[in-house]
């Protein structure tokens, strides 16, 4: 990812005769956060960019030209989220119909991506699959981010890619859970309606900036950094998590579903 944005921010700060700490005081951000943006270790949220524009008197330049579309292997609305995902200390996922991207196996990802229309070329499909699997590399760190996944039971029962693909996918989630790398909880279909059922949700926390939320629907997604909106999403997540099966029962449900796919596939 290009560092042009970060270099330009640093140049504007220095041209204004400001140290990082002085910019921190004006923009109401942490010094480490601004340092990460200048070094392009972190993409600024829209609110970050607005604060920096106001603090530096740069109009709306940093807001308007906030990067987010360099990686055309992911949807343009998701690119900022992918960058934040790499920096998060805690991630909480909810999925109503498909396995969250960071938990997908290659076979499952190919089954999902391969159903697009108009169809992608094999090369383009491979690029998108690789980009999705690359997101899962955050799980190679044994400690961070802390990942919680709440899965609607429909995610486990929908035979995406066929029985063998589903069995492998569920086994992958079980293995991550049993190794204590993630926690996964299942919301049973019998519960009926719950607050998160309307769409996919990702919550992210960071060591040096406020938490954010990302919601996604059909061919659209939105990153939320408004504190009141993020807090509302956190409340919905907590409420739905409280209705999910406990960890032991969730593992049992996943194993039984995986066995069903293997036995009857």
Over the stretch 2-50, which tens digit does the pLDDT of each residue have? Answer: 467 888 899 999 999 999 999 999 999 888 888 888 887 777 888 888 9
Does 107 have pLDDT greater than 70?
yes
Q: How confident is the model over 89-95, as a mean pLDDT?
A: 96
Nearest 5°: the CA angle 255, 133, 159 is: 40
What is the percentage of the chain residues whose pLDDT exceeds 90? Answer: 60
pLDDT at 19: 93
Does 197 have pLDDT greater than 70?
yes
pLDDT at 70: 43
In a 13 Å sphere around the CA of 34, the CA atoms on its Cβ side amount to 25
Instruction: Return the higher-pLDDT residue of 131 and 4.
Output: 131
Mean pLDDT of the chain: 89
pLDDT at 7: 86
Directed axis angle between helix 122-135 and helix 106-113, to 10°?
130
Q: How confident is the model over 72-88, as a mean pLDDT?
A: 74
Identify the band that residue 119 occupies on the pLDDT scale cut at 50, 70 and 90.
confident
Distances (CA, A) of 18 to 14, 21, 29, 63, 67: 6, 8, 14, 20, 24
**Which tokens belong to 253?**
């449900």
pLDDT at 8: 87
pLDDT at 163: 97
- β pairing state of 90-95 and 200-205: antiparallel
Identify the band that residue 61 occupies on the pLDDT scale cut at 50, 70 and 90.
confident
Instruction: Return the higher-pLDDT residue of 5 and 186.
Output: 186
Which is nearest to 202 in space by CA: 138, 140, 255? 138
Phi then psi dihedrals of residue 221, to 5 deg: -155, 160
pLDDT at 3: 62
Does 236 have pLDDT greater than 90?
yes
Q: Convert the chain into a string of H (helix), E (strand) and C (coil).
A: CCCHHHHHHHHHHHHCCCCHHHHHHHHCCCHHHHHHHHCCCCCCCHHHHHHHHHHHCCCCHHHHCCCCCCCCCCCCCCHHHHHHHCCCCEEEEEECCCCCHHHCCHHHHHHHHCCCCCCCCHHHHHHHHHHHHHHHHHHHCCCCCEEEEEEEHHHHHCCCCCHHHHHHHHHHHHHHHHCCCEEEEEECHHHCCCCCCCCEEEEEECCCCCCEEEEEECCEEEEECCHHHHHHHHHHHHHHHHHCCCHHHHHHHHHHHHHHHHHHC
pLDDT at 71: 47
Phi then psi dihedrals of residue 120, to 5 deg: -85, 155
For residue range 209-226, list pLDDT tens digits in order.
Answer: 899 999 987 777 888 989
Does 129 have pLDDT greater than 80?
yes
Q: How confident is the model over 130-138, as a mean pLDDT?
A: 89
pLDDT at 77: 65
For residue range 152-178, list pLDDT tens digits in order.
Answer: 999 999 999 999 999 999 999 999 999
């Amino acid at each position: 990812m290009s560092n042009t944005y970060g270099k330009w921010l640093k140049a504007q700060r220095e041209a204004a005769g400001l140290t990082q700490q002085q910019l921190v005081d004006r923009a109401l951000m942490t010094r480490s956060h601004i340092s990460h943006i200048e070094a392009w270790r972190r993409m600024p949220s829209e609110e970050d960019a607005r604060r920096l524009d106001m603090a530096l008197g740069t109009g709306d330049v940093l807001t308007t030209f906030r990067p987010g579309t360099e990686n055309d292997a992911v949807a343009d609305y998701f690119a900022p989220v992918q960058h934040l995902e790499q920096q998060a200390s805690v991630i909480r996922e909810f999925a109503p119909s498909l396995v969250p991207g960071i938990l997908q196996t290659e076979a499952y990802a190919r089954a999902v991506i391969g159903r697009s229309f108009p169809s992608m070329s094999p090369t383009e499909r491979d690029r998108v699959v690789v980009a999705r699997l690359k997101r899962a590399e955050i799980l190679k760190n044994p400690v961070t981010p802390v990942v919680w996944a709440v899965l609607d039971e429909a995610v486990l029962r929908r035979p995406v890619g066929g029985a063998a693909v589903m069995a492998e996918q569920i086994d992958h989630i079980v293995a991550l859970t049993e190794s204590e790398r993630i926690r996964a909880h299942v919301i049973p279909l019998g519960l009926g309606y719950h607050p998160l059922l309307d769409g996919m949700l990702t919550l992210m926390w960071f060591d040096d900036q406020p938490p954010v939320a990302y919601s996604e629907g059909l061919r659209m997604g939105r990153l939320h950094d408004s504190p009141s909106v993020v807090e509302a999403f956190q409340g919905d997540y907590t409420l739905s998590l409280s209705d999910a099966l406990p960890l032991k029962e969730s593992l049992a449900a996943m194993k039984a579903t995986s066995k069903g796919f293997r036995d009857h596939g």
